[in-house]
Structure 1
Amino acid sequence: MAERSDMELTDGYEKRRLQEVQKYAFLERQVNHSSDDLVGLATSIFGTKTALITMVEQDRQWFEARIGFDRCETSRDASFCAHALVSEDVLVVLDAKKDPRFLSNSLVTGEPFIRFYAGAPLVTPRGYVIGTLCIIDDMPRESFSLDDCKRLQSLARLAMDQFELKRLTEAQKAALCLSRTIADGILNVTLPDSITHSNAAASKILGYDRQEFLDLSLSDLIPTELSRKVEAASKRFAKSNREYASVGAVEATVKTKSGQEVPIEFSAGIWRSDGTLMMGIILRDIAERKRREASFQMLFERNPLPMWIIDAKSYAFVSINDAVCDLYGLPAETMLKRTLLDIRLPEDRAGVSQFLTRIGDAYEAPEPVTHMTFDGKRIRVLPYARRIQYGGKECILSVIIDVTERERASIELKSTRIFLNAIVESIPSMLFVKDVEDGRFVLINKAGEELLGLDRADIIGKTDFDFFSQEDAERFTAADQAVVAGEELVVIENEPVLTRKGIRSLRTQKVGVPDASGKPRYLLGVSEDVTERLAMEQHNRHLSRHDILTGLPNRLAFQDLLASNLSIPEQSASGFALYLIDLDRFKAVNDSLGHHAGDELLRQVATRLSVVKAEGDTVARLGGDEFAVIHRCCGSAEQAQRFAQQIESAFAAPFLVDGQQIAMGCSVGVALYPKDGSHADALLKRADLALYAAKEASECSYAFFNPALEERADRDRLLRDELRFALDKSQLHVVYQPIVDAQTHRTVCCEALLRWHHPELGPVSPVEFIPAAEAAGLIPAIGRWVLQQACSEAACWPSDVRVAVNLSPLQFTGFTLARDVAWALSNSGLSPDRLELEITEGIFLRDSDDNIDMLRQLKTLGVRIALDDFGTGYSSLSYLRSFAFDKIKIDRAFITGLPSSADSLSIVRAVIGLGRSFRATITAEGVETSEQVEVLAREGCDQCQGYMFSKPIEARAVHLRIAHEKGQEAVTA
């Protein structure tokens, strides 16, 4: 055997080795002549004075046999044999005085003066070294041959065989003794079926004597089903490499010799003995246990108290009675799927394990614990528990007593003692009780002390006349008498009372409290100080009708004021004007200077409007930057116009906000009563239409309502409503205006233009329906449809003709534009380089960075991007620096003046130059004369578009036009 390291010797190996030594400890108590013979033989063979058989324990070595040595044991530290534990080879020390390991050993320097040592290890069948057979001499030796080592090892093996035989003999005696005394029956079986041994308990259980058992087979004794299990287990074991296998425990019913059926618990073990399969069987008579279990089950199930059995490890319910189901509110089959933790509070579950650990043979909880029923109700219970064996497992049996109602009654009894004081003191209003006979106070709470500014000691036993004025006291006494006489609740609202805190408004309720005879004995009163509440209600009423920022009437109040003006006869006769005012560019002030500056500006506007208004007029802030004025001194349209001009004049001077001068204009819409409406809603609606017209006209203007505005609004609303169905009803269609090469006049692209033909309204101009679509939020859906339609139709054109589709700024507000374009290209099969997307400068006016990112995403798809209506915005050149456009389209406003206008020509020439600089294609829009074509071609414009070449045409006409051009080219060629 290879040497073991010190680590192995001091780790798990040494622990197991010491356990192995203990199996042979009985040898120390016995006289073993064969061992004495062995050591004597060793001294004869090797010519030494001393030979020992040692057993090495943790701290000592003791001698199982010895010759030539007086001691019975030595310490392990001084032991030579302890060094032999690390190997199954013989340890040889020829001269201990020359060996560093033993030079200072007490057995070398003192008795018996060891010089020579040779030890062969005693190795158990399991491979552990438990000691040695060693020879010792006081004279050194020159050598110890290999043959000598083998002879010494043979003696050691012989000694170990003797020890093992003795150990097995002792074990057999113990097993035989156990077999005779144990109450369980034991059978030994040589598999497959032969019984070779039985004990007395087996004879007692089954009625057969020992000889009769030997004449029987196992299958004669046990049921067929159990016999099959044993046979199957035997076959599995025979095929395995295992040393041992167990079967059981299984409950079964067997017949005794007399034919009586007996319940038994069957368990077995299988092992190999010299190649033969053996089985040891234990038969336990469980008849008494079955009787006890049946009695227990009957008591358990019929007990009116809740009882359960839980698994001691998993806390799962193993068995419950009906009373448990009633208490916790679940049927048995559901309850048995739960655990004890399910009925404990979440915060108590961590302590369940500690609680169950305390349970022994019997346990009574020192105090109730809280459980939860399955409808969420908490109950208090006292558990009584004990540990039991149930179904072969360790379990806990508990009896539960519900003490919820008992505890509740106890708590209510205790709380009743402090209930009145608690409720009286917690009421924030003054609560008092007076004696009906003399009007003296017998009780008052803390709130009463605070209201009256007195301690209750100074109040109890006194009357109202001791604290209040004569007038107040007489009024209170009269109310008390009315309560006693009427025997009903009396409520006194907002009663002014002079207290030490000044005049307070009280709301007092008084009621009589009768005695046992039913007559009023006391008077109970509650006085609530409502002074602050009344003031707050007044303040809230003001706030609910006034703008917090400006102090002006708000929209709610304004509507009431407008309605009241309509209801005043003299006002209805003379008429008045309603002005709606909207500040121009107010959002820019908020964005640039902050909301605090915007708030200050609104306050100053309110001040100026209040200065302008005449006596009897109303100025209100309706919300945001919208104000309204009712001008009552208005007998004619001219007077109304003059007041509108006064409002404009109020905005003429700049506003000073945070040291900065802010020029702020306004738009004003005017509606006249009764001319423009006879009720409030109509006037507000028409003033709003006039305001919209004023904002459309220009900044800093006013407009009066006229019926055309309402007609236009009605038509806009009609168009918005009808547009929602136009797509589904196929009322929309796309036409195309050709774009031609400026030199060859051949069609190179077609711009897709949307048209709407309503079945009743007829053709509707894009000038009308596009704003309606924007207002209705339909632009994204319509734009997506136009894109898909244009790509599908253009895919049928020759591959050198592109299609241009206009994009609205509203299509950039979402995140789907690039996806929509990609889908239209994929679905139609149109090559991306044949699609031009036209955008206007409007997309740069808001979220310009995000929109430029979107343009870059579109560009990655391979499409071309064109800048439409170039030159009409505020900063066209900056947009050219922000993004590399593939095409720039010159707005028709600059083409119309050609060739006569020098300014128009200069602008066109400059744009064409920019196009060359940015490598962009230049397209002129609105080309209508041959002179314009000639100038544009001469200046180097790339493409032309306009009625000079073609009006917008249907998709099928595009085919014919292109085919015609191809034919012309063929003839020319």
Structure 2
Amino acid sequence: MIAAKKVPGKFNIEMFDDVPVLQRKWHAGLRPGERLPRYEDVMLGSLGRLADHIVLLKDNNEALEVSRTGRFIQKWLEDDRWDIPLSALSPDCATALGEAAASALRNSRPYPTVAHRVRDGLVQTYDILALPTFSRWGGTLIGVYVNERAPQYNLLDAIFSTTDEGVLSLATIRDAAGQPFDFQIVHHNQGASRLLKLPSTELQWRRLSAGGNLLCLPEVTERLLGVINGGSRDQFEVDSDDRNLRLGVTAFGDILSLTVSDVTALKRREASFRLLFDNNPMPMWVFDAETTGFLSVNDAAVQHYGYSRATFLRMKLREIWPEDEWVPHNQALQQVGDVYHSGRNWRHLKADGSEIEVLTFGRRVAFDGRDGFLVAVVDITERRKAEARIAHMAHHDGLTNLPNRERYQDRLKQALEQSQPGNKPVAVLCIDLDLFKNVNDSFGHPMGDRLLKAVADRLRSEVRGNNLVARLGGDEFAVVMASDVSPNEASDYAARLIKTLSATYNLDGIEVVVGASIGIALSPGDGDTSEELMRNADMALYRAKSDGGGVHRFFEREMDRQAQKRRDMELDLRRAFANGEFELHYQPLVDLAADRISGFESLLRWRHPEKGMISPADFIPVAEDIGLIVSLGEWVLREACTEAAKWPADVKVAVNLSPVQFRSRSLVQVVVSALAHSGLSPLRLELEITESLFLAETEANLAILHQLRELGVSISMDDFGTGYSSLSYLRSFPFDKIKIDRSFVKDLAERSDCVAIVRAISGLGRSLNITTTAEGVETVDQLDWLRAEGCNEVQGFLFSAARPAAEVEALLSRFGRRASKAA
């Protein structure tokens, strides 16, 4: 295109069209399949005057080189050299060219940008366009177009004209004797006009003696005259009704350079700071950032620390720090920036020598012309004490103040970690008090709590070194022996603990005696984790309790096998109940006088799909422990009643009840539901219980038994004669039947004492009008003895083992009974 003629003072508008022209030329030279156009298609040919504005850069993969430059470029660069590194040019031009060329190469596209050049305070803006091309001689050439965009402007004038501060130049006016007495404004910016609230035309050439603005105040003139006479500089503030101005003055011969700043907002912030600082209830101070001396303290700091204000202001920070914290305090000061928030708790010393724990928050401030630091202090002494109490409570038992289970487990894990290098044994002792429940039942829980405290004191006195004793809950305690303990040492220690804990306790004048049982597990043989050792020590404790208590037992692998077997059975039981693997078998009860079947005892059987029939002696106790016996017992009642309803009307069915079923408190409703569902008469249902039912909650259980009797259901006591107080139970409840345990029947023919017991029970039954049934009859001799002693009923293998429900009819027929369903 043809260049338009430049007009002085104007910039060339048509030059803005050069950039799109060059971009179109670049795209026109781009051939299909090529990443860049060729150099000769873009840079050679009809460039005309544009060639004067182009610098050709060569990319040699290491650095850019200046290959050719046009006349305008040479003037712009102030350098006419060719074949030189780009870095040899002035930094401002080299940087602009290098960045444009790098962007064009990176994108493989023309790259337009804008650059600025400053010379002698004058700023010129340039358009730049980098055009990457492919050279047939090898490598890449970048043609960079440069042209000025707008007229130059003076940088200092621009800064002074746009700044919010007022800038003025004042010429000194002297009298005939050469003494300065007045000043005249010879230059100012718009900021000065705005701050002094006068139009620019009125300020220019105005003498200060003419008045009309803040600079004309006598005190201002006096300060200005002082600067002229002293040849120095000054800074001061001038206040009016609504504003505060800060003046900075520097003398250059008879010319004063004056800056005016509005500090109204700053002064108001300072006033607010003073108000917030002085009256703040939080201790606060300002210290010198260089000397660490206190510059100011508020009333709260004086009251809280106990130093007088005068004493405070003579002190340095170091004097309120404990000596052992001087180093970390100093390190924190060296790293502090403009804002500080303590990342840790610090200790401070009060005037009376006491220590407090604090958090500090700070901000750098200018204070009375000094670099200062404003600090606010939060006293967390009481909070830390409360946190310590809470932390102690979280890891200690509230009653005995011994470590709790969580603290014990942490200590055990720590002991195991420390023992690993030498594989040193760690012992775990689980301690359970014997007969503790009797103390609670006899004297009440407050007495039981006092006993636990006394036990804790005795245990605490027996623990030394790294060992630890804890209360795990209830009357269960534990000790970890962490000092490379041997089995003999653990055994001796356990024996000593049992002896110590078994000695008489005097509690409020009452002598109390309890014992202790202990289970022991040692690492690594009995486990190398805290969970394994605790579990195995607990199994050893169970063994000690089973052996009568008052002893200690070590863990044995057989215990673990039995425990695993027990866990497997628990899982199998739950699955078996859900899958309907249980069934009822029925063993006949034979009336000796009538020589016929009077009823059947329903007996629960479990047919495991893989293990076959499992003995009730194995699974009933487990079902009771896990609570499954309640649901299982409800099913047995319903199933037995439903089956018995098919038998002759004078044939009864007996169902065994577990003591656990009584604890559910819904047993009566379950029996009523089973009878209603089956249509069986209550008179044909017998419920068998054992004397263990009377060992706990006797009154509540007796009430349930009476409710069942009111329904018309018969109540039998099973295994009579094997317990401690069977005779007293006959006084507690009018049983309909007592069943003589098979252990007495088995040896009738050989042992006279068994004959005496059977005779006594039979006689007791006749006297109390209670039916007697002998269990476990297997021989004719046993039957003859029982008949001779007056027993009413018998059952046992002599007549039949328990048989499935489908065989009941055959059993009835065998004994000459009609097996049709009762009407």
Closer/same/farther in 2, CA of residues 484 and 586 from structure 1, 3 Å limit = closer
| 1:420–1:854 distance in 2 versus 1, CA, 3 Å | farther
Structure 2 residue corresponding to 1:450, chosen from 303, 314, 328: 303
What is the CA–CA distance in structure 2 between the aligned matches of 1:962 and 1:790, rounded to whole Å?
A: 17
CA shift for structure 1 position 819: 1.5
Residue-by-residue CA offset, 1:708-727 (whole Å, 9 max, x unaligned): 21121112111111211213
| 2:353 is aligned with 1:509 | no
Indicate whether 1:962 and 2:812 are aligned.
yes
Q: Structure 1 pair 574/950, CA: closer, same or farther in 2 (3 Å)?
A: same
After superposition, the Cα gap between the structure-2 partners of 1:446 and 1:540, relative to the gap in structure 1 and judged at 3 Å, is farther
Picking from 758, 767, 778, the partner of 1:917 is 767
SS in 2 for 1:547: coil
Structure 2 match to 1:500: 351
Secondary structure at the aligned position of 1:687 is classed as helix
Q: 1:903 to 1:613 in 2, by over 3 A?
A: farther
Q: Are the structure 2 counterparts of residues 659 and 522 from structure 1 closer, same or farther at C-alpha, using a change threshold of 3 Å? A: same
Deviation at 1:857, TM superposition (A): 1.6
Contact 1:582 1:627 in 2 (8 A): yes
Q: Secondary structure at the match of 1:628?
A: strand
User: Which residue pairs with 1:487 in the alignment?
Assistant: 338
Q: 2:714 aligns with which of 853, 857, 864?
A: 864
Deviation of 1:479 (Å): 7.5
Amino acid at match of 1:892: R
State the partner residue of 2:480. Answer: 630
Secondary structure of the 1:511 match is strand
Q: Distance in 2 between matches of 1:894 and 1:481?
A: 88
Distance in 1 (CA, whole Å) between partners of 2:659 and 2:320 is 80
Partner of residue 194, structure 1:
none
Q: Does the CA-based 8 Å contact 1:565-1:572 persist in structure 2? A: no
1:837 positional shift:
0.8
- One-letter amino acid matched to 2:741: D
For 2:96, the equivalent position in structure 1 comes to none
Q: CA separation in 2, counterparts of 1:634 and 1:534? A: 37
TM-score, normalized by length of structure 2? 0.60
CA apart distance, 1:835? 0.6
1:898 and 2:744 are equivalent in the alignment: no
Q: Are the aligned partners of 2:321 and 2:347 in contact in 1 as well (CA < 8 Å)? A: no
How far did 1:770 drift?
A: 0.9
Kindly provide the amino acid, as one letter, of the partner of residue 760 in structure 2. Answer: A
Are the counterparts in 2 of residues 869 and 891 from structure 1 also a CA contact under 8 Å? yes
Structure 1 CA distance for aligned equivalents of residues 333 and 481 of structure 2: 55
- The change in CA–CA distance for 1:423 and 1:855 in structure 2 (over 3 A counts) is farther
Once the two structures are TM-superposed, the CA of residue 494 in structure 1 deviates from its matched residue by 4.1
Equivalent position amino acid for 1:731 in 2 = E
RMSD value, Cα: 3.8
Judge conservation of contact 1:495–1:506 (CA < 8 Å) in 2: yes
Partner of 1:942: 792
Cα 1:471–1:661 change in 2 (3 A) is closer
Deviation at 1:468, TM superposition (A): 8.9
Rg larger in structure: 1
Aligned-partner SS, 1:754: strand
- CA offsets 1:226-280 (integer angstroms, 9 cap, x no match): xxxxxxxxxxxxxxxxxxxxxxxxxxxxxxxxxxxxxxxxxxxxxxxxxxxxxxx
The alpha-carbon deviation at position 797 of structure 1 amounts to 0.9
Q: Which residue of 2 aligns with 1:593?
A: 443
Do the aligned partners of 1:578 and 1:630 also contact (CA within 8 Å) in 2? yes
Matched AA of 2:558: A
Q: Give the TM-score taking structure 1 as reference length.
A: 0.51
Equivalent-residue separation in structure 1 for 2:710 and 2:272 (angstroms): 79
SS in 1 for 2:777: coil
**1:824 pairs with 2:677:** no
Pair 1:658 & 2:511 matched: no
**Are 1:695 and 2:545 an aligned pair?**
yes
SS in 2 for 1:966: coil
SS in 1 for 2:692: helix
SS in 1 for 2:772: strand
Structure 1 residue 437: deviation in Å?
11
Structure 1 residues 643 and 926: CA distance shift in structure 2, 3 A: farther
The 1:816–1:495 alpha-carbon spacing in structure 2 relative to 1, beyond 3 Å, is closer
Preserved contact between residue 320 and residue 350 of structure 2 (Cα < 8 Å): no
Q: Sort the Cα spacing of 1:510 and 1:754 in 2 relative to 1 into closer, same or farther, 3 A.
A: closer
- 1:760 to 1:507, Cα distance in 2 relative to 1, 3 A: same
User: Taking every aligned residue pair, what percent have the same amino acid on both sides?
Assistant: 41
Deviation at 1:739, TM superposition (A): 1.0
- Partner Cα separation in structure 1 for residue 660 and residue 815 of structure 2: 37
Counterpart code for 1:878: S
Q: CA deviation at 1:870?
A: 1.7
Indicate the SS of the match to 1:923. Answer: strand
Match of 1:512, as an amino acid?
A: R
Over 3 Å counting, the alpha-carbon distance change for 1:672 and 1:470 in structure 2 is closer
848 and 427 in structure 1: CA distance in 2 versus 1, 3 angstrom threshold: farther
CA distance in 2, matches of 1:844, 1:481: 73
SS at match of 2:760: helix
Give the deviation of 1:568 after TM superposition.
2.6
Aligned to 1:430: 283
Task: Return the letter of the residue paired with 1:453.
Answer: G
Instruction: State the alpha-carbon separation in 2 of the partners of residues 569 and 791 from structure 1.
Output: 63
Q: 762, 767, 772: which is aligned to 2:612?
A: 762
Opposite residue 283 of structure 2, the aligned amino acid is M
Q: Give the secondary structure class of the aligned counterpart of 2:665.
A: coil
Seen in structure 2, the aligned counterparts of structure 1 residues 655 and 470 have a Cα distance that, compared at 3 Å, is closer
CA contact (8 A) 1:583 1:626 kept: yes
2:651 aligned with 1:801: yes
Q: 2:767 aligned with 1:908, yes or no?
A: no
Matches of 1:628 and 1:904, distance apart in 2:
46
- Cα distance in 2 for partners of 1:424, 1:734 equals 88
Unaligned 5+ segments in structure 1 are 1-415
1:785 to 622, 635, 651: 635
1:583 aligns with 2:436: no
Q: Residues 533 and 502 of structure 1: is their aligned pair in 2 closer, same or farther, counting only changes over 3 Å?
A: farther
Partners of 1:578 and 1:664 lie apart in 2 by: 22
How far apart, CA to CA, are the structure 2 residues paired with 1:586 and 1:932?
A: 45
Which residue pairs with 1:675 in the alignment? 525
Q: Which amino acid aligns with 1:761?
A: K
User: Which stretch shifts more, 851-860 or 913-922?
Assistant: 913-922
- The answer as to 2:721 corresponding to 1:884 is no
What is the match of residue 555 of structure 1? Answer: 405
Query: CA-to-partner distance for each residue in 1:429-486, whole Å, 9 max, x for gaps?
Result: 42345698999989766643431236xxx6389615299959889989x979969994
Contact between 1:614 and 1:631, CA under 8 Å: does it hold in 2? no
CA deviations on 1:350-373 (whole Å, 9 max, x unpaired) are xxxxxxxxxxxxxxxxxxxxxxxx
**Secondary structure class of the residue paired with 1:502:** coil
Query: Which residue of structure 2 aligns with residue 394 of structure 1?
Result: none
Counterpart CA distance in 2 for 1:437 and 1:858 is 93
Match of 2:579 in 1: 729
Q: Distance in 2 between matches of 1:527 and 1:555?
A: 39
C-alpha contact 1:689 1:710 (8 A) present in aligned 2: yes
642 and 928 in structure 1: CA distance in 2 versus 1, 3 angstrom threshold: farther
Q: Per the alignment, in what secondary structure is the counterpart of residue 463 of structure 1?
A: helix
Q: Is the 8 A contact 1:576 1:673 kept in 2?
A: yes
Helix, strand or coil for the counterpart of 1:647?
A: helix
- Distance (whole Å) between structure 1 residues aligned to residue 743 and residue 516 of structure 2: 30
What displacement does 1:825 show? 1.1
Q: C-alpha displacement at 1:656, in angstroms?
A: 2.3
Partner of residue 301, structure 1: none
In 2, the alpha carbon distance for the partners of 1:452 and 1:550 equals 39
